Amino acid sequence: MNHTTVFELSGVSYSYQNRIVALRDVDLTIRAGEALVILGPNGSGKSTLLKILDGLYRPTSGRVLAFGRDITSAADDPELGYWLHQRVGLVFQEPDVQLFSPTVFDDVAFGPLQLGWPSERIRQAVLTTLNELGILHLSDRAPFELSGGEKKRVALATVLVMDPEVILLDEPTANLDPRSRVQLIELLTELHRRGRTLIIATHELDLVATLATRVVVFGEHEHRPIAEGPPELILTDRTLLLAANLIHEHLHRHGPIVHSHPHWHDAEHQHEHD
């Protein structure tokens, strides 16, 4: 493991109640500064993998290294977990679980409070983060007063305020309207440009096209990576995408033409016909 490696997983498996397999014998290395997209359909183990990387779940078997330190037991070791959470932030798929405080300000301040920052530094950091994300006006709002897009932004703010080196994002664009989606993708691009390592679990291919520097594809039934490579290579491998249940074939219309081919909806309907 060299100094630019952020995570190194060897033989990692995880199953729920020792019955339902989520991950099977995963080997994976993630380097600093990457924008890695973990691509896979629902139920392929992506979310579980993120929770293992964040030290929230202990793998059933295998070993996980983060920044060169063994974090396999971080879920059972509060001090090790605390060390990890100062460097790695996780944005959950469902923002409601992340917004548990009475106001947006309190939610964003929660992480820095746990890190023991002085009050004035916390207030300053919270206001700066909210301002950078364009949600300063939501500071006093209660979570139930927010729209879906606003909740996602606030959830991201709760992690960004702690200034982690690595940000894990679970389905970040799920259930967002087109404008909120574009804004979030632009924000993530900017974070990556500033040197943050991004690890994004998704089944949406347009995120790969716009954000990824590397893609790892998880198989629907394998629960482990079945392919890995640069986005250009993965996105043009239709057999792989079809096999992994990431694209599908069905009839659709382009002006006067109705035809069928494997595609994803956010990009490939835009193509031209002679």
- 97 or 251: CB nearest another protein: 97
Name the minimum Å distance from CB 192 to another protein: 21
Going by C-alpha positions, the residue among 19, 67, 63, 26 that lies closest to residue 201 is 26
Chosen residue from 6, 9, 12, 54 binding another protein by CB under 8 A? 54
Name the minimum Å distance from CB 98 to another protein: 5
**Which distant-in-sequence residues (6+ apart) come within 8 Å of 176 by Cβ?**
148, 149, 152, 184
- 31 or 141: CB nearest another protein: 141
Q: Which token pair is 108?
A: 């964003």
Give the total of residues touching another protein (CB under 8 A). 38
- 38 or 205: CB nearest another protein: 38
Name the minimum Å distance from CB 250 to another protein: 26
Q: Tell whether residue 145 is a contact of another protein (CB under 8 A).
A: yes
Name the minimum Å distance from CB 129 to another protein: 13
Name the minimum Å distance from CB 56 to another protein: 5
Footprint of another protein on 158-187 (CB under 8 A): 158-159, 162
Q: Tell whether residue 101 is a contact of another protein (CB under 8 A).
A: yes
**Which distant-in-sequence residues (6+ apart) come within 8 Å of 95 by Cβ?**
148, 151, 152, 154, 155
Chosen residue from 7, 14, 67, 92 binding another protein by CB under 8 A? 92
Binding range to another protein, per CB under 8 A, among 64-72, 155-163, 196-204, 247-255: 155-163
Q: Which token pair is 4?
A: 């630019």
Q: Tell whether residue 263 is a contact of another protein (CB under 8 A).
A: no
Q: What's the CA angle centered on 144, arms 266 and 54, to 5 degrees?
A: 65
Q: Residue written as tokens 């979570």?
A: 143
- 4 or 147: CB nearest another protein: 147
Chosen residue from 26, 52, 109, 205 binding another protein by CB under 8 A? 109
Binding range to another protein, per CB under 8 A, among 30-38, 92-100, 176-184, 249-257: 92-100
Q: Tell whether residue 72 is a contact of another protein (CB under 8 A).
A: no
- 86 or 210: CB nearest another protein: 86
- 94 or 220: CB nearest another protein: 94
Q: How far apart are CA 115 and CA 132, in angstroms?
A: 21
Bridge partners of residue 38, in order along the sequence: 201, 216
Binding site for another protein (CB under 8 A): 51, 54, 56, 78, 81-82, 85-86, 89-90, 92, 94, 96-103, 106, 109-111, 113-115, 119, 122-123, 140, 142-145, 158-159, 162
